[in-house]
Amino acid sequence: MTLPIRDAVLSSPDYPFVPIDARIKLDQNESAEDFPAPLKALVLERLAQAHWHRYTDLNAEAISAAIARHEDWSPAGVVVTTGSNVLIALLIQLAALDRRVVTVTPNFALYGLDARLLGASLTEVPLRPDFSMDVSALVEAIKGEPMSGAHGGGVVYLPQPHAPTGSIAAIADLEKLSTASSQWLMVIDEAYHQFAGTDAKALARGLPHVVLLRTFSKAWGLAGARLGYALASDDVARQLRKLAPPFAVSVMQTIAAQVALENPGYMKDRVERTIQERERVRLALKRHPSWEVFPSSANFLLIRTPDASRAHAELLSAGVLVRRQDAYAGLEGCIRVTVGSREENDAFLRAAGL
């Protein structure tokens, strides 16, 4: 029996994630530390006072205002959703239905998955062997011919720092791409920017077609709360909000975000610890006899091993879960390990024989 469902959906693979139980979980780039206990208590206290029978803000206006203060951004240019992954699909709906999505490969899987599901024409430009962006190939791709019947333009997705390699693009390259065409929404996914100390806000302020994505899931330690946001020009944000589901951000999420934004110090402290641990683990891994570790500006490390399947299984048998990346072209043999707590990182290094 054929289901009455679009071919683009039927032919799309499932999201590439298989949950595996392990004592030490270094597979999803989560924060090693939970949301601080005193802040959790504060959230619960405020939650007990809140009205659960009322709808929340139509477009998370209260969180948007708090984010705008934290980011020094126009409140009208902030769009909050239940995780930044929601925005990836919304931005395709906004500017790439019947048009094109251009991104790099390898890359965060969701850009390509959502482009396929929504029937956009997808162009993936390979990174160079050193994981740097091929800017002229990307410029060529966005200036290329639209598919028949499609309009020119669409959405360009670039993660900065890049996932899953952890590499960083020169801001001049992002600028070159962003100024190559105003027919495209240029989306810079800054999920890991705190660990890189990079910030594309100056670029986005001057160019209304540049959109930044940020999340509470990584540095803020709130992956379970599901909160992300876009920083855009007021005009783009106003159109994007039309597509966001109304009243979607719950009272629980609203209070968690507000408490986090009132206390950004804990986030900055853990980012510092994570960067120190990342460099400690990276240096230790350099002594591995057969693995090659790449430099990273994020909270994870990409490692090339002779056999990703074997490395993954051997680490797992020692209780350490990492993520295989070897299905990506150019990442043969690669695994990705999240930077965990000092103890978790030590367990990982021991499991790796170091």
Footprint of ligand PLP on this chain (CB under 6 A)?
Answer: 29, 83-85, 108, 159, 163, 189, 191, 215, 217-218, 223, 228
The first and second tokens of residue 308, run together, are 């990703």
Residue nearer to ligand PLP on the CB measure, 121 or 217: 217
Please identify, using beta-carbon distances, which residue of 109 and 150 lies nearer to ligand PLP: 109
Residue nearest to ligand PLP (CB): 83
Residue 317 C-beta: closest distance to ligand PLP, Å = 27
Is the distance from CB of 82 to CB of 226 less than 8 angstroms? yes
Rounded least distance, CB 170 to ligand PLP, Å: 19
CB of 96 to ligand PLP, least distance (A): 17
Distance of alpha carbon 197 from alpha carbon 299, whole angstroms: 12
Closest contact distance (angstroms) between CB of 86 and ligand PLP is 7
Q: Which is nearer to ligand PLP, 110 or 318 (CB)?
A: 110
**Nearer of residues 218 and 270 to ligand PLP, judged by Cβ:** 218
Nearest to ligand PLP of 84, 274 (CB atom): 84
Dist CA 162 CA 168 (whole Å): 6
Residue number, 33 or 307, with CB nearest to ligand PLP: 33
To which H or E segment does residue 185 belong? strand 184-189
Least distance between ligand PLP and beta carbon 294 (Å)? 16
Task: Compute and round to an integer the Cα radius of gyration of the chain.
Answer: 21
The DSSP element (H or E) to which 155 belongs, if any, is strand 154-159
Which residue, 82 or 349, has its beta carbon nearer to ligand PLP? Answer: 82
Whether the link from the prior residue into 129 is cis, omega within 30° of 0, is no
The CA-based angle 308-309-313, given to 5 degrees, is 115
Give the nearest distance from C-beta 349 to ligand PLP in angstroms. 23
144: left (phi over 0), alpha (psi -120 to 50) or beta: beta
In the complex, minimum distance from the CB of residue 320 to ligand PLP, in angstroms, rounded to a whole number: 20
